[in-house]
Amino acid sequence: MTSWDSLPMELRFMIFDYLAASGPGHLSVCAAVCKKWQGIIEPRMFRQLKLRSTRIEGLGTMITDRTRPLVQYIWLHVELPQYTCLICNRRESQSAWIRNNRLIRGALLKLFAVLSTWDSTAGGLTLELSVNSPSDTQHYFKNYCFGDGRHEARNWGGSDHGWNNGTRTRSPRSSAIGRLFEPIDLISRQRMLRVDAVTRLVIRRHLRRRLPGSSLRTLLDKLPRLECLLFEPWREWVPSLQSLLDREYKRTLEVGLPRTLKRLSIFEDFDEIHMTPIRRTIWPRPPFSLTRLGFRGLAETIGDRSLQLTHLSISFLIDACHFFRPEQRHWIWQHLEFLSLTSEILKPRKDKIVLWTLLYVAALVAANMPRLQEMVLWNGGKGHTCMFRYNRRNASLTIRSTWKCQLLPIVEELWGEILLSRTGCQLHVDVRSLSSGLILCHGDAVYELGLPSGVVDAVSLTQMRLEERMV
């Protein structure tokens, strides 16, 4: 009979990986059975912890001095109370909103109190925050994904809440939509403790509740060693409110970001289906448009902040034409290695002269980025997408679009000169067309363009595409 010790080490690792995927309790049982296994099992057990808000008190006793260095990722999930069909089509009441924010604040206060005692490690610690009620996917939003990307079984039968056997038959009321996107208020009389161990903060799109600038600053203020921020907020459907949000974001980026920050990725998500019922409630009714009216002041602030960054990716929040400014011809980005931006200019039926001007100005700015390895300018939505991608390592300029998009020779020459001066290589230009029928949403655009992983979280991308196909 084959013994455990006779198995190749690769096979043992495969068995432990299978147990880890089977459920959180399986590995801990194995570690308790055999001390020899602890060195193999514990790194897998403690690498990533999903922590419910009701279990925070146990974190201090569960993690010992020996296992603390093994923890790389903590995902705090705050589960809000369930609600019934009697109120599912209404905004939260004032008392419910206060109660829910108290739960969120309380969870963060407790977690930061525990983490404030942790020493910082060489690898750093990632903290992710998510909030939702189990009821959120049981009424009008059966297609919405929360969590790690796996779409659990749901009751698709019947014809309630605008669904009929898995097909959406009508859009939810604006008040039902608003329930999922209530703002989070982290302002509290209690002082949140400083945490030096966290170097990466992740707020993905499945946190649909809005995190305004004031609440985001409250978090960032207590993370003085933060090096990376991944933020995927949702677009505000009311233009006037979006303008207020943009000004809050501007202030946050001006005064709220730690000086240690090196990587900033913001992907502003939006739902084309739900924009219509929201805007019907506004009077005077604004013209329906998916065009993002970028706030120039916010783009200028991001441009200023980019001088200290190595990685910058901003999708839909600002327009690239506002990021590139005339005075930047004197700037030098000593650190920036990756830059990704979106622009409304990269849409079908836009003026080609304006497009070529954007790409030419982008090249002038890239000439002042000595360490730049990759620049991506793109846009995408239902039925259309376009990408311009410069890659220094591959000596390539890649253009993909759902319509005929060609470069002006003078633009191509300028990019070729930049590459030649940096690497001594000749530029290879690759222009191809994509089928518009493949692009059902902006998530499909990201996927079909093959955008770098730093543009949007991989799980978020899966959720975007899955949600679009379940309506």
User: pLDDT for 386-408, tens place per residue?
Assistant: 999 999 999 999 999 999 888 89
Range in 143-147, 289-293, 420-424, 461-465 with the lowest mean pLDDT: 289-293
Q: Which of 197, 341, 375 is nearest to 267 (CA)?
A: 341
Sign, Cα dihedral of 36, 37, 40, 46: negative
- The predicted pLDDT at position 6 comes to 66
Q: Which of 345, 374, 342, 376 is nearest to 358 (CA)?
A: 345
Average the pLDDT over 406-425 and give the result: 95
DSSP state of 395: T
Query: In the numeric block, which tokens belong to residue 437?
Result: 């029928």
- Does 28 score more than 80 pLDDT? no
Average the pLDDT over 96-111 and give the result: 97
- The predicted pLDDT at position 2 comes to 62
- The predicted pLDDT at position 149 comes to 56
Average the pLDDT over 227-239 and give the result: 91
Q: SS3 of 238, please?
A: coil
Average the pLDDT over 445-464 and give the result: 95
Could you give the percent of the chain with pLDDT greater than 70? 85
Work out the burial of residue 64: count CB atoms within 10 Å of its CB; fewer than 13 is exposed, 13-18 middle, 19 or more buried: exposed
User: pLDDT for 35-56, tens place per residue?
Assistant: 566 656 677 788 889 999 989 9
Q: Which of 33, 153, 136 is nearest to 87 (CA)?
A: 136
pTM score: 0.90
The torsion region of residue 166 among left (phi > 0), alpha (psi -120 to 50) and beta comes to: left
Number of H helices, E strands in the chain: 15, 14
Average the pLDDT over 190-200 and give the result: 95
- The predicted pLDDT at position 153 comes to 47
- Does 157 score more than 60 pLDDT? no
User: What separation in angstroms does the CA of 92 have from each of 82, 84, 97, 214, 230?
Assistant: 12, 12, 6, 21, 28
- The predicted pLDDT at position 170 comes to 80
- Does 5 score more than 70 pLDDT? no
- The predicted pLDDT at position 62 comes to 84
pLDDT band at 321 (very low <50, low <70, confident <90, very high): very high
Distance of CA 219 to the CA centre of its chain: 17
Amino acid at residue number 95: S
Helices (H), 281-383: 296-305, 320-323, 352-366
User: pLDDT for 328-344, tens place per residue?
Assistant: 778 999 999 999 999 99
Query: In the numeric block, which tokens belong to residue 111?
Result: 């977690």
Phi, psi angles (nearest 5°) of residue 74: -120, 125
